[in-house]
Each structure stands twice: as structure tokens, then as C-alpha cells.
Amino acid sequence: MFNAQLLYVSRLPLVMAHDRWLPDIFARVSPVTGSPQISIICISLLTALFAALSFGGLAVIQCILHTAAITLEFLALLLLRLRRPHAHRRFRVPGGWWGISCVCVPFFSVALVVLVATLRDWRNFPGQLLVVGIIVFSGATLYLLRRKIAVRSEGKL
């Protein structure tokens, strides 16, 4: 299972480097095998670090990060509906704002329960919460830096 996961996960840094979200070193591939060796090494090191955690600790990290990721998707749904209500979309939640609330309110309620239940015993998982904090901080920092670079390059055109 690890080898199968490594094959597809190692492509994420490669693609992110091609899109200029990560340094170019992650875009290098082996001339012999065509595999992204730096990405494979980095993903393997991260996996080794996470393998040292307990199952409960990994569950805490997974619950918080997965809930946060889906929350961002629902917030994007709400923001797009507010900012561009008449934009053409392949799929549209029917029912207007009533339909959106029927979709979003249950999710946000469950997400809040998951967050409260996970953080209720936060003193038992300080390392895991630190990992979550580092991941969230690095993702937000990368996004803001990338956005700043994109705004600068648009101004030069």
C-alpha cells in the first residue's frame, strides 16, 4: 500500500513545482526512470515521521485537516454564490439560498462537532496539534506568497 501511495503522492510536489507553487527542485525527474526522485525522498521522509505517531494521533491530524479542507470547499461555494450568483456552472445547488443552507448548515454543524470532539482533549495531543498548526501555517504562507507574486507579475504586463 505504501508503494502504491508513494507513486501517486510523489506526483503532487512535481505538479506543484510545474505550477510554480514549490521550488523547481521538485520538478526534476530522473533521466533513467522518469520519476521525481526529490519528491519521492521528501514524501518518504514525511511518511517516516508520521509513522512514528500513534494511531490516535494520526486520527486527530486527519480529522482536523480533512474537516478544514472540506470547510474551505463549502466556504468557496458560499463565496462564489455571493460574488457571482449568475455565473454559468456545470452543477448548481438547486433551491437558491434555501438549497445552499440545506447543504451547508448540516455540514458546518457536523464539522463543529468534529472540531469540538477532537479538541476536547487537546492536552493529550500537543504534538499532533503542532503538526496541524505547521501544515495550516505553511499552506497559508505559501498561498499568500504565491498570490503576491501573481499580483506583481500581472502589474508588469
DSSP 58-109: HHHHHHHHHHHHHHHHHHHHHHHHHH-TT---SS--SSHHHHHHHHHHHHHH
pLDDT on residue 108: 94
pLDDT on residue 157: 47
pLDDT on residue 107: 93
Domain positions in the chain: 1-52, 53-157
Q: Classify residue 84 as left (phi > 0), alpha (psi -120 to 50) or beta.
A: beta
pLDDT on residue 135: 86
Q: What is the pLDDT along the chain (157 residues), one digit of tens a residue?
A: 767 777 788 888 899 888 888 888 998 998 998 888 898 888 888 888 888 888 888 888 888 888 888 999 999 999 988 998 888 888 888 888 899 999 999 999 999 998 888 778 767 777 778 888 888 898 888 888 888 877 777 665 4
Provide the whole-model pTM.
0.69
DSSP 3-state of 130 = helix
